[in-house]
Structure 1
Amino acid sequence: MAAAPSINSLPYEVRQTIYSLLGQHQTNSYRWNGEPVSTIAHYAAVSREWQEAFERYSFREIRITPKRLNCFSQIVKSPRRRAIVQTLRFHVKLDRYPSYLDGEQETSEERRRSTEIFTDALVTFFRAMTHWQKTDTSPLGLDLHLLIDSPSDSSTLLGRNGTPLTTGRALLSHLKLDLETLSLPELDIFSGFRCTGRHLQPTSLLAIVSKLRALEYLDMELNHDSIRKRDVQQRNNFVAGLEQCAESVRVLGLRRPSPMIIPSTAPSRKPWSDFYVHLRAFSQQCESFEFDDCVDAAQFFAPFIVGPSPDDAPRSQEVPFWARLKRLNVRNSYMMKEPYLRVTSRTEALAYVQKVLVAVGRASCHMPELQFARVCQYVLTDGRLEWFVLTYECYAGRAVLLVRGFVPGKVMIDAWKHPIAEKRVEFHIHVEDTDPNAPEL
């Protein structure tokens, strides 16, 4: 009886296809917290060929802790392995705490200790990464995902989807860097940066961003839109420093802290405040821009809101022009939770929603390269969540507006039709919602 053929007897291309399919199958599973689970590491020990084939999957995303930095540096010492790496997840673990403190804020001493742990870990990581050269990485650069939390931040309570809830302590205890003593070397190997876990003060994030000199993608949590002096100062300092510290960023994503458990004072409506002026200015260098409740869409697009209002633009204000913008994603909610109530009634909420949808349409006249836009507005009344979604897609000589949750009125259609007409493409509107009670906006 003839021996079974060896996999090595197959053509090289066939073997690579097998490795590819096996690698994808083994890396497409995830833990409850969203982290990928890789089960292919042991395959690399079969042979030299298997090692090189499966390292292309196992080294794409590497999770590092401060204690494993030396081991990590040795593992990825070879240029071949460094060229495989696409994402580094640097996980900074803060001190544990007993369960009876789950709902308590950190004390001043505990905050100082958390700042010390985080600052020391970040300095160590940046120094270790100075041994990497830009030529070591892929042409697209590396993504850095910074995760900061305590092992005790996961509550024993479970949410609706069966995953552990985050403790009140984790939500209440904001984190910052010691900026007076912080000394980080500049790195040019990272093209993307995302921060999750404990809420990190925006000015501390800006200090990190300023050292990532080749950064193109930035996704971060922006603290609550409120009139608290600390929040206002943090937000203003952050956006004012973006143009200088993040001049290479072309993809910007801003998101609010979530979930929120402490209501904060509702923000005053000041679309011409330093925050909105600087944010509008910086967004004009972006190719992709998205934000949620941390930015009020009506205030951001205020230059395109027509009509008598105390918030009308001063004559000195310039109308923004987004020459590079290709993708826009806006999400705002009304009457959901403080400080994002914004209105006091459904009637007022619908008027606000229409104002935003029309303003974005008018603004698209100043976005000549826009290919995709999604504007989602959510209104919660009497326990019922209403969605008002407008999606714009422009490709292959055709522009399409997809509308859900409302019937577009003449003002809104005209607001979007004019910029589309300037592009000289076909224009189509599809209303997805067949509810006869859907409001006209």
Structure 2
Amino acid sequence: MAVTPSLNSLPYEIRQTIYSLVGRQTGDSGYWRGNSAPTIAHYATVSREWQEAFEGFTFRELRVTPKRLKSFSHIVTSPRRRAIVQTIHFHVSLDRYEPHLGGEQESSAERRRGTEVLTAALGSFFRVMTNWRKSDTSPLGLDLHLLVDSPSDSSTLTGKNGGPMVTGRALTSYLKLDLETLSLPHIDVFSGLRCTGRHLQPTSILAIVSRLRTLEYLDVELNHDSTRKRDVKQRNNFAMGLDQHGETVRVLSLRRPSPMLTPSPSPPKQPWSDFYVYMRNFSQQCESFEFDDCIDAAQFFAPFLVGPATEKSLQGQDVPFWIRLKRLNVRNSYMMKAPYLRVANRIEALASVHKVLVAIGRAACRMPDLLFARVCQYVLSDGQLEWFVLTYECYAGKAVLRAKGFILGRAMTEAWKHCAASKGLGFVVHNETDDPAAPEL
């Protein structure tokens, strides 16, 4: 009777394939969450070879809380394990609150408590991470995902995507660090930072960014563009501070708090304001730049708008030149709730969409390495959402322009055609809209 071969008798490549299949089917969650269900971590106890194989799944993404920092420091000490880690999810949990308070804003005392919890948690985490060296990690560095919320922030209601909705308190509350008592050491192991959960004030984000000396990727929320002094100051300080503290950032993604926080009056049109001047300047060092309603595309690309009024207001300012930019992603909406009431009616909205798409086409001439651009403009009128998407891609010596939701007009086509010609590329246009009622822009 033939003896059944053992797993260890199989060729190395086959064993690695088996480990990979088991790892994908099992999933790597649970090891850092205290789950009792079987996880990859249990397979790692079979043998030394199994340990090394399955730790590649177990330690790829680590979920850490302030209470588990000590065990985190103890378990992830060897260079082999540290080299596996790609992302650290640092979850800071705020105090619970009663269900009947879910629709109310936090009190001053509760906001101070949240500041204390977050400031202390980040201080402890950064001190632990000073034990890591750049040589311990992969050449790409680590991504830090900072999640701050309360266990009570999840509502009993279910959202459209099937997941739990977030309470009104979670949506309308904001967080900040105590910058006077905050003491964070410099760290050179993180190349990416993403903040989710409760809205964190931009100047507090800058305080974190200033301690990450090798940061290349930044994905954060930005305050609404409103006339409130606090918002204006936060936005201006953030845009100005990026140049000083984010000099290594090459990928910048900015998003509004979503769903939107408490509405506030929209600001006057000031494309020459400090915020837009600083943000245009900083974006010129980026390889990838992405933003939504937290930045008004018309004001950001104002130097490229057609019209004597705009040219006069921006007189004397340098025209931006994005020498590194390869990817651009812009999303704006019109006729939504405040503070995004940029227009009064659909006619004005369509005119603004046309103006923005032409201006970005003109700006693309100042982006010599641009490979991909996607500009989405959404218009809500009479309860109906219309969307207009323009996509620009470069490959095989040609530039391909695609329009969805509208028909490309002459001015827009000429602006993007000139962009392609300035780079010596062929030019192809695709109107991907079959609706005969689609507007021509």
Query: What TM-score range do you get, normalising by the shorter chain?
Result: over 0.9
Task: Tell me whether 7-16 or 142-151 shows the greater mean CA deviation.
Answer: 7-16
Give the structure-1-normalised TM-score: 0.96
Cα deviation for residue 27 of structure 1 reads 2.9
Counterpart of 2:137, as a letter, is T
Contact persistence 1:159–1:165 (CA under 8 A): yes
Distance 1:19 1:330 in 2: 41
Cα deviation for residue 324 of structure 1 reads 0.2
For 1:189, the equivalent position in structure 2 comes to: 189
Q: Secondary structure at the match of 1:45?
A: coil
Distance 1:409 1:193 in 2: 40
Distance 2:382 2:78 in 1: 60
For 1:64, the equivalent position in structure 2 comes to: 64
For 1:10, the equivalent position in structure 2 comes to: 10
Cα deviation for residue 310 of structure 1 reads 5.6
Counterpart of 1:201, as a letter, is Q
Task: Tell me whether 233-242 or 418-427 shows the greater mean CA deviation.
Answer: 418-427
User: Is 2:272 aligned against 1:272?
Assistant: yes
User: Is 2:119 aligned against 1:80?
Assistant: no
Q: Secondary structure at the match of 1:118?
A: helix
For 2:25, the equivalent position in structure 1 comes to: 25
For 1:104, the equivalent position in structure 2 comes to: 104
Pairing of 1:113-128 with structure 2 (within 5 A): 113-128=113-128
Distance 1:262 1:196 in 2: 18
Moved over 4 A (4+): none
For 1:34, the equivalent position in structure 2 comes to: none
For 1:235, the equivalent position in structure 2 comes to: 235
For 1:251, the equivalent position in structure 2 comes to: 251
Cα deviation for residue 316 of structure 1 reads 1.2
Counterpart of 1:111, as a letter, is R
Pairing of 1:413-424 with structure 2 (within 5 A): 413-424=413-424
Contact persistence 2:303–2:311 (CA under 8 A): no
Q: Deviations over 1:363-383 (max 9, x none)?
A: 000000000000000001111
Q: Deviations over 1:384-432 (max 9, x none)?
A: 1111000000012121001101111110001000110122122101111
Cα deviation for residue 46 of structure 1 reads 1.3
Q: Secondary structure at the match of 1:436?
A: coil
For 1:378, the equivalent position in structure 2 comes to: 378
User: Is 2:144 aligned against 1:144?
Assistant: yes
Contact persistence 2:28–2:40 (CA under 8 A): no
Distance 1:343 1:254 in 2: 23
Distance 2:311 2:177 in 1: 36
Distance 1:342 1:420 in 2: 31
Q: Which sections of structure 2, spanning at least 5 residues, go unmatched? A: 31-36
Q: Deviations over 1:318-341 (max 9, x none)?
A: 100000000000000001221112
RMSD: 1.5
Distance 1:66 1:411 in 2: 56
Q: Deviations over 1:36-79 (max 9, x none)?
A: x9932211111111110011011100000000001001111111
Distance 2:164 2:312 in 1: 46
Q: Deviations over 1:287-322 (max 9, x none)?
A: 000000000000000000011336744321110000
Pairing of 1:171-182 with structure 2 (within 5 A): 171-182=171-182
Counterpart of 2:218, as a letter, is L
Q: Secondary structure at the match of 2:380?
A: strand
| Gap change, CA 1:14 and 1:148, over 3 Å in 2 | same
For 1:33, the equivalent position in structure 2 comes to: none
Distance 2:61 2:248 in 1: 24
Contact persistence 1:270–1:311 (CA under 8 A): no
Q: Secondary structure at the match of 1:366?
A: coil
Distance 1:29 1:186 in 2: 30
Counterpart of 2:180, as a letter, is E
Cα deviation for residue 253 of structure 1 reads 0.2
Q: Secondary structure at the match of 1:389?
A: strand
For 2:34, the equivalent position in structure 1 comes to: none
Q: Deviations over 1:143-201 (max 9, x none)?
A: 00000000000011111222111111111111000001111100000000000000000
For 1:221, the equivalent position in structure 2 comes to: 221
| Gap change, CA 1:18 and 1:225, over 3 Å in 2 | same
For 1:350, the equivalent position in structure 2 comes to: 350
Counterpart of 2:224, as a letter, is H
Distance 1:398 1:318 in 2: 30
Distance 2:2 2:44 in 1: 28
For 1:159, the equivalent position in structure 2 comes to: 159
Counterpart of 1:180, as a letter, is E
Number of residue-to-residue matches in the alignment:
435
Cα deviation for residue 261 of structure 1 reads 4.9
Distance 2:347 2:38 in 1: 51
Contact persistence 2:144–2:194 (CA under 8 A): yes
Contact persistence 1:365–1:419 (CA under 8 A): yes
Cα deviation for residue 232 of structure 1 reads 0.3
For 1:325, the equivalent position in structure 2 comes to: 325
For 1:49, the equivalent position in structure 2 comes to: 49
Distance 1:229 1:261 in 2: 16
For 2:33, the equivalent position in structure 1 comes to: none
Distance 1:139 1:262 in 2: 42
Distance 1:233 1:212 in 2: 23
Distance 2:286 2:104 in 1: 40
Task: Tell me whether 16-25 or 217-226 shows the greater mean CA deviation.
Answer: 16-25
Distance 2:108 2:211 in 1: 28
Q: Secondary structure at the match of 1:413?
A: helix
Pairing of 1:289-300 with structure 2 (within 5 A): 289-300=289-300
| Gap change, CA 1:26 and 1:309, over 3 Å in 2 | farther
